[in-house]
Amino acid sequence: MRVFSDPAQVEHAPTRELHNGGWMDYAEVPARLTSVLDACGPGEPARDFGIEPILAAHDPAYVAFLRDAYRQWRAAGREGDAMGYVFPIVARRKLELERIDAKIGAYSTDASTPIAAGTWDAAYGAAQSALTGMDAVLTGDRAAFALCRPPGHHAGADYMGGYCYLNNAAIAARAAQARGAGRVAILDVDYHHGNGTQDIFYEDGEVLFASIHADPKTDFPFYWGHADERGAGAGEGATLNLPLPQGTEWSGYAPALEKALATVRAHGPDLLVISYGADTFAGDPISQFRLHRDDYTAMAGMIAALGVPTLIVMEGGYAVDALGSNVAAFLAGWG
């Protein structure tokens, strides 16, 4: 399978995050990218499809903020990474804010997603990796893997969070729609719910969003991903959430995957996008499922059996030493 990435993706390197009431080293490290490349080979460089496909999924004002936030942070006399400390809890208003602290809060959902010197270039490169993989699939490849870092599925149209800045899966899906893929399915198999992806497509009946994830009653992102979230308007019924308890092993995961795949099959997609997170691994330091390496090959085999052209987009996975082997095991499931 062809693998696409961009060298700028290693330049995103925040130093710390606020987690469970204290500071910890930033978990989404550049070594995640190199671990996968070491296991899967150097792959191919992403092509640059420009800013327009990004703006098809994200609010222009938010994108402009991302591009300029670190410069504004430094111009304000701040050191270190840009990070918010005040967040609106009422309905978010479109305000003309001036201070960078206010802008970060308005465009953030947490204090675990700092903006560092290389963040914009890395996020832009990750989006281009997804677009390059999408192009490969639409022009004849059975499947392609976009090694995206930073990940994207927690980023909404106008907010960042959960280590995510641009929603790579959503950007690729919107670009595929623009190129004639009438119906798209996004299957999210990361440990955490892809709240940003769900938000972007919640009222779009042409894009199915199905997610298998840790129950948000106990796990991030808490406020999205509950089973009663089914879509709205034209998208009613095109969202499927399958939350599972902490400690879930393959024996409990596989039936949920079968249900999700049946829903994908019924949707009849022209393109399938997989938001693949290896943080379902038993050894992941910040997650609580109990999948093992061989389970990823079985998971991929079940998905591949759909016979739908598939773009795989990298999301989470924080057991860095095992990450490359876990990704390689998943890709091996395509045969």
- pLDDT band, very low/low/confident/very high, at 95 (cuts 50, 70, 90): confident
Across the range 152-165, mean pLDDT stands at 97
The answer on pLDDT for 90 being more than 60 is no
**154 included as an active-site residue:** yes
SS3 assignment, position 186: strand
Residue 184: its H or E element: strand 184-188
The secondary structure of 65-95 as a DSSP string is HHHHHHHHHHHTT--S-B-------SPPP--
Which pLDDT score, from 0 to 100, does residue 94 have? 74
- Check residues 92 and 43 and name the one with the higher pLDDT: 43
Token pair of 289 as six digits: 């499922």
- pLDDT band, very low/low/confident/very high, at 87 (cuts 50, 70, 90): confident
Which tens digit of pLDDT belongs to each residue from 119-129? 999 999 999 99
Answer yes or no: are the C-beta atoms of 228 and 243 closer than 8 Å.
no
Token pair of 28 as six digits: 């989404």
Which pLDDT score, from 0 to 100, does residue 20 have? 83
User: Which residues are within 8 A (CB) of 114 and not within 5 positions of it... i.e. 6 or more apart?
Assistant: 14, 15, 16, 17, 26, 81, 82, 83
| Domains, the chain, ordered by start | 2-53+117-332 (3.40.800.20)
- Active-site hit among 12, 58, 153, 154: 154
Which pLDDT score, from 0 to 100, does residue 19 have? 84
Which tens digit of pLDDT belongs to each residue from 235-259? 999 999 999 999 999 999 999 999 9
Cα 55 from Cα 6, distance rounded (Å): 19
The answer on pLDDT for 93 being more than 80 is no
Token pair of 55 as six digits: 């703006």
- pLDDT band, very low/low/confident/very high, at 174 (cuts 50, 70, 90): very high
The answer on pLDDT for 294 being more than 80 is yes
The answer on pLDDT for 137 being more than 60 is yes
- Rounded to 5°, angle at Cα 201 from 196 and 202: 95
Which tens digit of pLDDT belongs to each residue from 62-76? 999 999 999 999 999
Which pLDDT score, from 0 to 100, does residue 91 have? 55
Strand partners, 190: none
Which tens digit of pLDDT belongs to each residue from 24-58? 999 999 999 999 999 999 999 999 999 999 999 99
pTM for this structure?
0.97
